[in-house]
Amino acid sequence: MAITLKTAEEIEKMRVAGRLAADVLKMIEPHVVPGVTTNELDRICHDYIVNEQQAIPAPLNYRGFPKSICTSVNHQVCHGIPSDKVLKSGDVINIDITVIKDGYHGDTSRMFAVGKIKPHAQRLNQVAYDCMKIGIEMIKPGVRLGDIGAAIQQYAEKNHCSIVREYCGHGIGKNFHEDPQVLHYGKPGTGVELKPGMIFTIEPMVNLGKRQVRLLPDDWTVVTRDRSLSAQWEHTNLVTEDGFEVLTEHPDWPL
Ligand code: MF3
Ligand code: CO
Ligand code: CO
């Protein structure tokens, strides 16, 4: 699949989809408290996306995924399936929202602290956030994806964390996952050269322990092999003429 450069009309639709996805994260924040189940978070998001936003939750039935959002708790890396699991104080959770509006996708995720969390969990969330931010702030025409991957990897490893290799960011538009693949590790000077009009996610998964992961028998949930904590943040980003625009930024949560 070739990398598509989005037209001005498509970019406007991607702005709308991106903002809706960000709005879902903002809406769900006060619900992420001890005692709630991830199924309840899923239902609230589903109903908000369908009824308030008149949009489509992209994960639902995507390649057989059974729910409308991904909820990845503690040592779960990504693609956690909402369930009747009850969140407790000290948990950390990534909620990953993808909406389709007018045929275009907006994809964003962030970490939430449930009640009071330990300093090491807070530190990991911050390192993962900084990895994403470092990558996004490098985006401009002429930069190569290997430059971005290398910078993210270097920052994580300098902070004694590891980068998951099996999952990556991706082009996005009419399709949930398009080319290019956006690795969160790599070598400077390699990979696709960025051009204005490209839209892709940056979504590093960062582990407190080793980078190796395992797929649970549900065929979706990815966990760390050593059961160390994992954190992830994600934005959908546009390459502009002279830099970048974060399409899933929420005004209350500036990059
Ligand atoms: N939102 C995830 C991503 O960032 C993909 C989830 S696929 C699903 O690419 F099927 F699990 F929803
Ligand atoms: Co994504
Ligand atoms: Co996502």
Query: What pLDDT, in 10s, does the model give residues 31-83?
Result: 999 999 999 999 999 999 999 999 999 999 999 999 999 999 999 999 999 99
- pLDDT score at 94: 99
- Average pLDDT for residues 110-129, to the nearest whole number? 98
Tell me which residue of 197, 199, 165, 203 sits closest to 180, measured CA to CA. 199
Q: Is the CB of 234 under 6 A from ligand 1?
A: yes
Q: What is the pLDDT of residues 169-202, one digit of tens each?
A: 999 999 999 999 999 999 999 999 999 999 999 9
Q: Which atom of ligand 1 is nearest to the CA of 220?
A: 11
What pLDDT is stored for residue 14 in this prediction? Answer: 99
Indicate if ligand 1 lies below 6 Å from the C-beta of 79.
Answer: yes
Q: 123 CA distance to ligand 1 centroid (A)?
A: 25
pLDDT tens track for 209-240: 999 999 999 999 999 999 999 999 999 999 99
The preferred substitution site among 107, 199, 202, 233 for testing ligand 1, maximizing ligand atoms within 8 Å of CB, is: 107
pLDDT at 1: 80
% of the chain surpassing 70 pLDDT:
100
Are the C-beta atoms of residues 208 and 230 closer than 8 Å to each other?
yes
| Ligand 1 pocket residue status of 67, Cβ below 6 Å | no
Q: How confident is the prediction for the chain on average, in pLDDT?
A: 98
> How far apart are alpha carbons 157 and 96 in whole angstroms?
24
Instruction: Return the best residue to mutate from 72, 79, 177, 199 for the ligand 1 pocket (most ligand atoms within 8 A of CB).
Output: 79
Distance 159 CA to ligand 2 centre (A): 24
Give Cβ neighbours of residue 80 (< 8 Å, ≥ 6 apart). 38, 70, 71, 72, 73, 94, 220, 221
Confidence of residue 252 (pLDDT cuts 50, 70, 90): very high
Q: Give the Å distance between the CA of 42 and the centre of ligand 1.
A: 14
Instruction: Spell out which residues have Cβ within 5 A of ligand 2, the ion.
Output: 107, 201
Q: Quick: pLDDT tens for 149-174.
A: 999 999 999 999 999 999 999 999 99
Q: How far is it, in rounded angstroms, from Cα 203 to Cα 185?
A: 12
